[in-house]
Structure 1
Amino acid sequence: MKILHIINSLETGGAEKLVIETLPLYEEHGITADLLLLNGTNHPFLQELVAKKCCQIFTLGTSSVYHPKNIFGIIPFLKEYDIVHVHLFPAQHYVAIAKMLSGAKSKLIFTEHSTSNRRFKNKIFKPFDKIIYNQYHKIIAITPAVKQKILAHTDLKEEKIIVIENGISLGKIHEASPYQPNEIASNLKQSDILILQVSSFQEPKDQATVIRALVELPDHFKLVFVGNGILRQNAIDVVNRLNLGLRVLFLGIRNDVPRLLKTSDIIVLSSKYEGLSLSSIEGMASGKPFVASDVPGLKEVVSGAGILFPLGDEKQLAEEILHLSNDADHYIATVEKCVARAKEYDICKMVAEHINLYEEILRTK
């Protein structure tokens, strides 16, 4: 069985992180699983995967992932693998078009990672998207809610879509050791309470709400952001406008997220929506209380374990953070529920379900 995963790049993001953590596990099961990147810029995630020496990594250069020439770059790879497993747009569309142009016999799988995207919101894309989705032998939806979104947008037959929830490497989180606060930044003290958000700086993540919540909190509460993206400067502008420059840290993309999680006191994710957020599961697995906005893709995972606050409500978020910091029993109870919930999302379970799907597809003529 030869499997090829295709994704836009390994710049940052939950789908990208999922790919670099699952590929070594396929090798452990004796399966050849390689990777093709539309853009092979040498980001930290790519460096991390190269160091694992678990697969072949191919790239189509370093030009835009949206360049149509990528379609023709994909075609030769479709002829070399039994199954091609695709993640994210535009890779999803370009692989489907390459399949139509080439007539390659490889079977296609696509994982839909988000409950919301611009194409789902605009009916003008519906006829074209239906053609694209139909080129895939199976669609993996990462939650039942994602499956319903796909069905509503594409009118596909229900049996074409299978729900396989994403997972994380629980062992990597549990085994991580915390930093001393001043190892992260010289101005951090043991007495500081560290609030951590791990997310890309894109419109759905809404870092501004967490920044505004800091205004409602005492000065020894410090906010740490991990991630990068086109809206990072916007977040910096909000920090400067609110005179919070000494209380907010921007660490960029990091490969030591488990250690940063263990160092923090409270973990927050303020997104407007998610697919199935790996950051939320990692946050809950870390042994720290997790607080998230009450939105699709988060409430399904967090409800009954972590704490939910109304989207964009910085005052309520600040109150929840204060409650956790002032009530030790509440803090411990929240941690225990979060850790128990995270155990339901072990990456090994996800990989086993992927392998079962691959085998089923190869048995199908």
Structure 2
Amino acid sequence: MKDYQADIVHSHHIGPLLYTSCAIQYNSNRIKHIHTEHDAWHLNNYKHRVIQYISLQLSTPIVVADADFVSRKIRNIFKTYPIYTIKNGINPSLFTIGDKYQARNKLQISLPKHATMIGNAARFETIKGQQHLIEALRLLPASFHLLFAGSGSTLVALQQLVRQYKLAHRVHFLGHVDDMPTFYQALDLFCLPSNNEGFPLSILEAQACGIPCIANDVGGVKETLSTDSILVPNNTAITLSTAIKSMPHQTISYDAREFILTHNHAQAMTKAYEQLYFSGGNI
């Protein structure tokens, strides 16, 4: 902070909150501190609550919650501490509606002409629930396929599960994908069966591409969905497959994109942070 003569520091998550709060003490508190909370589940841990309390006392940062549910959680714990809510936004000029057949060709995915493609983009970790989506595929007609983008510690186990269920011809692992707009454009619907989430960007990105979503009701997920998408009460195979069957397939959702333009545009998010950084000034 001294080397760069920082005027403003923006921290994310509890570790950087603590480090930043301590460092500001050595800079005579002249640095403005903004802190964003992306989820609130970690505050169920008593140690985390103590660390967060101490950090808030050290530098009295401006605290921002990225979802209403996060804001409520923080207020329930820290009571009178002021909290701003600024929801995450994405760039709808980058994530836009496209031709799914061109997108599939670009990703080099060979599918039957009338296949319905369900997509998921997340780390391959147990908490992300990809195994439930694979199990749901067993209950769906053979025309349904799964497309995964990502990597992680459960990849091998998921691949073994696919082979066990004899679904290798219907489940496609792309690994790390740089061109995420093309990934979403290749889909008919997007599914996020996570056990835990904050305010997931993947749902925003998919809907900006006109792709309706199905997601488990955890964290701030319900705040991210348009009326064309479906919030499910759990991520069991039966619940997911039933929701998938009930959704119109192979149809672009313009309402989903309009929802993102209205509620989760990156420009609105940026403007809100600018007001906190510069007291209403513009970059």
Both structures adopt the same fold (TM-score exceeding 0.5): yes
- Is 1:167–2:92 an aligned residue pair? no
More moved, 272-281 vs 128-137? 128-137
Separation (CA, whole Å) in 1 of partners of 2:159 and 2:23: 41
Q: For 1:173, what is the secondary structure of its paired residue?
A: coil
Q: CA deviation at 1:141?
A: 0.4
Report percent identity of matched pairs.
27
More moved, 195-204 vs 256-265? 195-204
Residue of structure 1 equivalent to 2:66? 142
Residue of structure 2 equivalent to 1:228? 151
Contact residue 273 and residue 297 of structure 1 kept, 8 A = no
C-alpha deviations, 1:178-237, integer Å up to 9, x for none? 435344245433332111111222343211111111111122311111122333333333
1:348 is aligned, of 256, 263, 267, to 267
**2:22 aligned partner, one-letter code:** I
Task: Point out where structure 1 has 5 or more consecutive residues left out of the alignment.
Answer: 1-74
C-alpha deviations, 1:129-160, integer Å up to 9, x for none? 2011332420110112111222233x26332x
Q: Which structure has more RCO (C-alpha within 8 Å, separation ≥ 6)?
A: 2
Q: For 1:253, what is the secondary structure of its paired residue?
A: coil
Q: CA deviation at 1:288?
A: 2.0
Task: Point out where structure 2 has 5 or more consecutive residues left out of the alignment.
Answer: none
Q: Aligned ranges for residues 269-308 of structure 1 at < 5 Å? A: 269-302=192-225, 304-308=227-231
Task: Tell me: CA distance 1:137–1:91, structure 2 relative to 1, closer, same or farther (3 Å).
Answer: closer
Separation (CA, whole Å) in 2 of partners of 1:186 and 1:263: 9
Separation (CA, whole Å) in 2 of partners of 1:175 and 1:304: 18
Residue of structure 2 equivalent to 1:206? 129
Task: Tell me: CA distance 1:107–1:310, structure 2 relative to 1, closer, same or farther (3 Å).
Answer: same
**1:354 aligned partner, one-letter code:** Y
- Is 1:244–2:171 an aligned residue pair? no
Residue of structure 2 equivalent to 1:112? 37
Residue of structure 2 equivalent to 1:84? 9
Separation (CA, whole Å) in 2 of partners of 1:319 and 1:351: 38
Q: CA deviation at 1:303?
A: 6.0
Contact residue 66 and residue 199 of structure 2 kept, 8 A = yes
Q: For 1:268, what is the secondary structure of its paired residue?
A: strand
Task: Tell me: CA distance 1:356–1:245, structure 2 relative to 1, closer, same or farther (3 Å).
Answer: same
Q: For 1:157, what is the secondary structure of its paired residue?
A: coil
Separation (CA, whole Å) in 2 of partners of 1:208 and 1:84: 39
- Structure with the larger helix share: 1
Task: Tell me: CA distance 1:181–1:306, structure 2 relative to 1, closer, same or farther (3 Å).
Answer: same
Separation (CA, whole Å) in 1 of partners of 2:177 and 2:145: 18
Q: CA deviation at 1:285?
A: 1.6
Q: Work out the number of aligned pairs and report it.
A: 278
C-alpha deviations, 1:10-56, integer Å up to 9, x for none? xxxxxxxxxxxxxxxxxxxxxxxxxxxxxxxxxxxxxxxxxxxxxxx
Contact residue 22 and residue 55 of structure 2 kept, 8 A = yes
Q: CA RMSD in A?
A: 2.5
Contact residue 266 and residue 290 of structure 1 kept, 8 A = yes
Contact residue 39 and residue 219 of structure 2 kept, 8 A = no
Q: For 1:224, what is the secondary structure of its paired residue?
A: strand
